[in-house]
């Protein structure tokens, strides 16, 4: 007992330090949140820390204004479509390709996989201009589909790489056993490989979702009317430098959603799904 208390006190300085670092890290987010709660006229006059001395100032009026703003709501919906759409598409294609690269023998498989890996080093920016002209001629410019396809395409090298390397770790016996049990390749994929690949799929999905949710560059390039929330907030910033009472809550909403998604999926990360299958 005494020993345990001793150990705890010895660890205390470290824990305090960690808490301080974490708090410092959170300051901008907290600042943003508190700003979003302050009345507009006060924001420019006072700092957000004013709320600490006068908690009664806090209201959700700004949020109400955001939810009433048709443009911002449309933008939010567009973001959801782009982020969810491209994440689902990417995960599905990556998982299928990853399974094929891992377990289905076909001619030229290994060289092709090397090519896929090589594509990892192509920076997205180099493709902006060529794809721009392509989209203009094909009518994909300024559409949600165009943005979904672009994000998916640039997510694929990493997605396939991640999936293939995870799937290759599935014991061969499992797949063969399923084959003998009467499963087709498609059944094996959906009934065995996907459930077993959940940790990798969750990781890929979260990264892609966060990345595309926060994207500004691609959306600015390929959209005019099709504006995700990042572009909408950015536009607000340019048009009226002063309307922070819309920008702050909108930014906070834009930040809170991926955070919620992250926490919803994170429990799949560390699961040892393969335990008990062989040996």
Q: Which residues bind other proteins (CB under 8 A)?
A: 171, 173-174, 176-184, 187, 192, 195-196, 273-279
Separation between Cα atoms, residue 134 and residue 82, nearest integer Å: 19
Residue 82: CB minimum distance to other proteins, A: 31
Write the DSSP assignment of 174-198 as a string of letters.
Answer: HHHHHHHTT--HHHIIIIIIHHHTH
Whole-angstrom CA distances from 136 to 25, 91, 140, 223 are: 42, 27, 6, 11
Instruction: Tell me if 266 sits within 8 A of 68, measured CB to CB.
Output: no
165: three-class secondary structure by DSSP: helix
Nearest CB to other proteins, comparing residues 44 and 277:
277
Residue 269: CB minimum distance to other proteins, A: 16
Instruction: Tell me if 143 sits within 8 A of 224, measured CB to CB.
Output: no
Nearest CB to other proteins, comparing residues 159 and 197:
197
Closest CA to 221 of 157, 152, 153, 140: 140
Nearest CB to other proteins, comparing residues 15 and 184:
184
Nearest CB to other proteins, comparing residues 174 and 255:
174
Residue 176: CB minimum distance to other proteins, A: 5
Residue 87: CB minimum distance to other proteins, A: 23
The continuous run of DSSP H or E covering 259 comes out as: helix 244-265
Nearest CB to other proteins, comparing residues 64 and 191:
191
Instruction: Tell me if 114 sits within 8 A of 175, measured CB to CB.
Output: no
Tokens (6 digits) for 247: 């920008």
Nearest CB to other proteins, comparing residues 192 and 220:
192
Residue 174: CB minimum distance to other proteins, A: 5
Residue 94: CB minimum distance to other proteins, A: 20
Nearest CB to other proteins, comparing residues 25 and 106:
106
Residue 266: CB minimum distance to other proteins, A: 19
Instruction: Tell me if 176 sits within 8 A of 185, measured CB to CB.
Output: no
Residue 109: CB minimum distance to other proteins, A: 14
Whole-angstrom CA distances from 180 to 84, 175, 177, 185 are: 37, 9, 5, 11
Nearest CB to other proteins, comparing residues 187 and 214:
187
Closest CA to 94 of 193, 209, 204, 199: 204
């Amino acid at each position: 007992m005494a020993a345990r208390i001793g150990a705890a006190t010895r660890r205390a300085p470290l824990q305090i330090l960690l808490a301080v670092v974490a708090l410092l890290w959170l300051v901008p987010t907290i600042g943003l949140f508190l700003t979003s709660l302050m009345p507009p006229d006060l924001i420019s006059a006072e700092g957000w820390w004013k709320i600490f001395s006068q908690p009664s100032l806090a209201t959700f009026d700004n949020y109400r204004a955001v939810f009433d703003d048709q443009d911002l709501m449309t933008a939010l919906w567009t973001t959801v479509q782009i982020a969810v759409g491209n994440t689902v598409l990417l995960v599905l294609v990556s998982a299928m390709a990853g399974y094929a690269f891992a377990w289905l023998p076909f001619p030229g498989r290994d060289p092709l996989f090397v090519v896929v890996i090589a594509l990892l080093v192509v920076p997205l920016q180099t493709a902006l201009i060529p794809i721009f002209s392509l989209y203009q001629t094909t009518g994909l410019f300024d559409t949600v589909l165009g943005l979904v396809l672009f994000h998916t395409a640039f997510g694929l090298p990493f997605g396939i790489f991640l999936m293939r390397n995870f799937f290759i770790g599935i014991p061969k016996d499992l797949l063969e056993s399923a084959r003998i049990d009467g499963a087709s390749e498609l059944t094996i994929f959906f009934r065995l490989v996907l459930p077993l690949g959940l940790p990798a799929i969750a990781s890929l999905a979260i990264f892609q979702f966060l990345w595309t949710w926060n994207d500004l560059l691609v959306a600015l390039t390929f959209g005019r009317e099709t504006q995700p929330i990042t572009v909408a907030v950015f536009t607000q910033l340019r048009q009226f430098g002063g309307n922070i009472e819309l920008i702050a809550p909108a930014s906070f909403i834009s930040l809170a959603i991926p955070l919620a998604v992250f926490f919803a999926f994170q429990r799949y990360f560390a699961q040892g799904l393969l335990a008990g299958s062989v040996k």
